[in-house]
């Protein structure tokens, strides 16, 4: 047997993690995981059916209603979470490498978001829940009595996560859910079929009670059955706006809670007094992060007309200077797209740009690669904000540059979008920059930088979603209020 075959055998995930055990799938369908940089097979994973989802939800329901998890104290949950964090941290290096192979994420970024972030989020929400007042007593209004106000777990959470930051975005949901006392059925994306089961390995190692965390890899149809399953109390979803619309509609029909973190078409606004070097230093996190396969990617660059030609050429040169290559090489700054299907999508948008009135400044091809899903960073100038390239999410390194003549026009163009997730404003006058930032309708925005703060609420406006994750506020998605009307003696 060759070394490649040995590696594949080690990475195969042919069973699901349900009720604390590895169980055989009910169906026979599988997904072959392909390395983004080479096009070679990494491993094979089973795909779940409605029956697998049903088994996972029932296990989560038992753990909450009958098992020990529904009766745990905050201190007990915190202990599990901290040990869970340690177990994931011990696997961080291998997990980071695996995700980079799966989706093309440069290894330095993967080490931060897939290696370090999951453990950090568990520790953060372990601290958050200890500072939440879960029960208080107040005088009843208008009557002689007391009201006990409790905050209780929302219940069984169906978490549906995408392929671009698979470990971090899963833990955006799992960590606050566990802290609040919920149980979870996690359905990761087949595009990153292998890495999410690292959660299961760690959960087994620390003795997390059966049914608290269940993981079933599945496609859209089985994922839909998780959304509509009668045993689920809440859906937490990160993914496309199109899928989010359907999930939101179903949750509305079922009177089921949901949080939706969806697509984006964010704008960077470069005012005429901005410092060009500051803007260029921000590009790795504002526009190029994870090969621009990031929902907050500022793919629209709005530039004051008096500085437009200068900035267009600077962005084009910055794009030419990027090191496109294997994401496991620390020198690589732009890796491949996550899949051949996604590569075709991105190349399709480049063709849209070529056939519009926009001007291709640099890029537009696949570079000197004979395998893997690579695309050159691509810059289009003179893009009208009504063009398809300015209005639709590409989810790859394709950037649309548009001039403006005043701060008011910049705000108008930035807000003339169906999305509102990220963005940034650049100005030598920080107060001016803050003033413009406050006027842009988006869930997150930076002034002279864009760096996601895991300790602050994150989410979108308009078609970019409903609700907020992260920060102390993120725990609110997983707690319900209950009022108990009690005798006045409880006030003493």
Task: Give me the residue label for tokens 């059966």.
Answer: 210
Between CA 410 and CA 415 the distance in angstroms is 9
**Exposed / middle / buried, residue 149 (Cβ in 10 Å: 0-12, 13-18, 19+):** middle
Hey, what are 211's tokens?
A: 């049914």
> Which residues touch 429 (CB under 8 Å, ≥6 apart)?
273
Which DSSP helix (H) or strand (E) runs through 110?
Answer: helix 107-110
State how far the alpha carbon of 486 is from the alpha carbons of 118, 150, 386, 392, 479, in Å. Answer: 41, 12, 59, 54, 21
Residues paired with residue 446 on neighbouring β-strands, in sequence order? 424
Q: Quick count: other Cβ atoms within 10 Å of Cβ 55?
A: 20
Between CA 96 and CA 226 the distance in angstroms is 28
* N-term to C-term CA, the chain: 74
State how far the alpha carbon of 453 is from the alpha carbons of 167, 458, 459, in Å. Answer: 17, 8, 12
User: Strands 135-139 and 21-23, how do they pair?
Assistant: unpaired
What's the order of all strands across the beta sheet hosting 465-466?
A: 21-23, 16-18, 213-215, 183-187, 156-160, 234-238, 257-261, 465-466
Helix, strand, coil fractions of the chain, as percent rounded to 5: 45, 20, 35
| Integer Rg of the chain from CA | 24
Active site residues: 261
Q: What is the DSSP string of 40-57?
A: -EEEEEE---HHHHHHHH
- Three-class SS string for 465-482? EECCECCHHHHHHHEEEE
Between CA 242 and CA 219 the distance in angstroms is 15
What's the order of all strands across the beta sheet hosting 359-362?
A: 359-362, 378-381, 398-404, 300-304, 267-270, 424-426, 446-447
Q: What is the DSSP string of 166-198?
A: HHHHHHHHHHHHHHHT-EEEEE--GGGTTTTHH
């Amino acid at each position: 047997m060759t070394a490649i075959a040995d590696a594949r055998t080690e990475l195969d995930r042919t069973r699901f993690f349900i009720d604390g055990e590895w169980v055989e799938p009910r169906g026979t369908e599988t997904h072959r995981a392909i390395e983004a940089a080479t096009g070679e097979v990494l491993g094979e994973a089973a795909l779940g059916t409605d029956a697998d989802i049903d088994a996972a939800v029932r296990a989560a329901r038992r753990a909450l209603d009958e098992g020990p998890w529904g009766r745990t104290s905050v201190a007990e949950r915190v202990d599990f979470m901290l040990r869970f964090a340690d177990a994931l941290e011990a696997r961080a290096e291998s997990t980071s490498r695996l995700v980079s192979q799966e989706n093309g994420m440069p290894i330095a970024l993967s080490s931060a978001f897939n290696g370090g972030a999951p453990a950090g989020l568990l520790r953060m929400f372990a601290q958050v829940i200890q500072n939440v007042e879960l029960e208080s007593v107040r005088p009843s209004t208008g009557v002689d009595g007391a009201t006990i106000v409790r905050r209780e777990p929302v219940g069984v959470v169906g978490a549906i996560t995408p392929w671009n930051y698979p470990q971090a975005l899963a833990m955006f949901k799992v960590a606050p859910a566990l802290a609040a006392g919920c149980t979870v059925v996690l359905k990761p994306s087949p595009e990153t079929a292998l890495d999410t089961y690292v959660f299961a390995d760690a959960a087994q190692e620390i003795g997390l009670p059966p049914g608290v965390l269940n993981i079933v890899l599945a496609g859209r149809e089985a994922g839909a059955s998780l959304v509509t399953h009668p045993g689920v109390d809440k859906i937490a979803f990160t993914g496309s706006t199109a899928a989010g619309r359907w999930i939101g509609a179903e949750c509305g029909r079922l009177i089921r809670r949901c949080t939706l973190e969806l697509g984006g078409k964010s704008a960077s606004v470069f005012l005429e007094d901005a410092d060009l070097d500051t803007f260029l230093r921000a590009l790795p996190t504002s526009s190029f992060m994870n090969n621009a396969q990031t929902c907050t990617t500022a793919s629209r660059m709005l530039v004051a007309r008096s500085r437009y030609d200068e900035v267009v050429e600077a962005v084009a040169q910055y794009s030419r200077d990027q090191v496109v290559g294997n994401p496991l090489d620390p020198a690589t700054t732009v890796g491949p797209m996550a899949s051949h299907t996604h590569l075709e999508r991105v190349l399709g948008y480049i063709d849209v740009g070529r056939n519009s009135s926009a001007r291709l400044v640099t890029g537009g091809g696949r570079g000197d690669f004979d395998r893997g899903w690579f695309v050159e960073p691509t810059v289009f100038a003179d893009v009208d904000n009504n063009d398809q390239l300015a209005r639709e999410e590409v989810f790859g390194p394709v950037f649309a540059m548009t001039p403006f003549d005043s701060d008011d026009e910049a705000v108008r163009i930035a807000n003339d979008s169906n999305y509102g997730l990220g963005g940034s404003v650049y100005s030598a006058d920080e107060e001016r920059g803050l003033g413009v930032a406050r006027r842009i309708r988006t869930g997150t925005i930076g002034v002279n930088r864009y760096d996601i703060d895991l300790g602050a609420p994150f989410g979108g406006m308009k078609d970019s979603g409903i609700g907020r994750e992260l920060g102390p506020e993120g725990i609110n998605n997983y707690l319900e209020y209950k009022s108990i009307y009690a005798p006045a003696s409880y006030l003493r």
